[in-house]
Amino acid sequence: MKFLSFTFLLFFTLLFSCNTHILKSSTNNELVENEVYSLVHSRELKIFKRFDTPPNFSRNQHNTEFGKWLNNLSLKSHTTPVYTFDGQKKSNPNIYVGVLDLDQPQKNVQFNANAVISLRLEYFYREKKYSELDKLAKISTKPTPYTKFVKGDYSYSKYIEYLQYYLENTNSHTITELLKAIPLKELQIGDVFFQKGSIKSHAVIVMDLAQDEMGNKIYILAQSYYPSQNIQILTNPSNDLISPWYIAKEGVLLTPEWRFLSSDLMRFK
């Protein structure tokens, strides 16, 4: 009996290490639960500390400045729920495993794809790249540039006022103006999966990335949804074994509240 148990354990270990795609076929609920908990350290308040990488994967250290900033963002306490702009709790708490520790506008403006634009503005503000903020005003809705809007008041409260104003002037077309399509093989932190719909558009943003020796990539995603709400780290509804990580592969990307395609991958210009 001991020999059989050892043989099964050895077989599964080899299966796990040979191909990350094989993770999707596991139906052992007990094992899935153990692996999920081993990857998530709930009390940690940084993305790269709260979420371990699965075996054989290591985090990519070659990030853009925007990617480094995103990956170093703080998370709220693991007991903190997602709130909508009007103070209501998000109704389905099981779809996220972390909430970004960022203020949100008190109007219904940071919803769906607008959230990735919100993060881009936040990055430029925090890094004092005010000229880059001004460049974001070069879109078809022609919002007032940041420095002209704030008139020398660079306080955070004034920035939030501008963020709200800018997002009110954001739509699916202007978001497209700020992005360019890229192939999946070039995936890095800060890239977004953006889908422009006739009624509603949505986007998720890559917050963390890891890779194995064979070049296979996995990544962590964040989103807002409707109505406007805190930006949250998503679970992986298709693969509990490695959640919140997603496997980078061509085809369908199923997130808890949206269905993307790998061809939806884009990067800020």
Sorting pLDDT into bands at 50, 70 and 90, what band is 18? very low
**Which among 220, 219, 221, 190 is positioned nearest to 64, based on CA atoms?**
190
**Mean pLDDT of all residues belonging to the chain:** 89
pLDDT for 12 beyond 60: no
> Are 219 and 138 spatial neighbours (Cβ–Cβ below 8 Å)?
no
In one letter, which amino acid is 242? I
193-252: pLDDT as tens digits: 999 987 889 999 999 999 999 999 999 999 999 999 999 999 999 999 999 999 999 999
pLDDT for 190 beyond 70: yes
Looking at residue 38, what is its pLDDT? 66
**Which among 100, 44, 48, 22 is positioned nearest to 210, based on CA atoms?**
48
Looking at residue 7, what is its pLDDT? 44
Terminal Cα-to-Cα distance of the chain (whole angstroms): 59
pLDDT for 69 beyond 90: yes
Distance CA 248, CA 37 (A): 22
Mean pLDDT of 174-182: 98
> Are 94 and 235 spatial neighbours (Cβ–Cβ below 8 Å)?
yes
Distance CA 17, CA 34 (A): 17
Mean pLDDT of 110-123: 99
pLDDT for 86 beyond 60: yes
47-57: pLDDT as tens digits: 999 999 999 99
Looking at residue 197, what is its pLDDT? 86
Mean pLDDT of 128-136: 99
Q: Give the CA angle between residues 247, 250, 255 to the nearest 5°.
A: 55
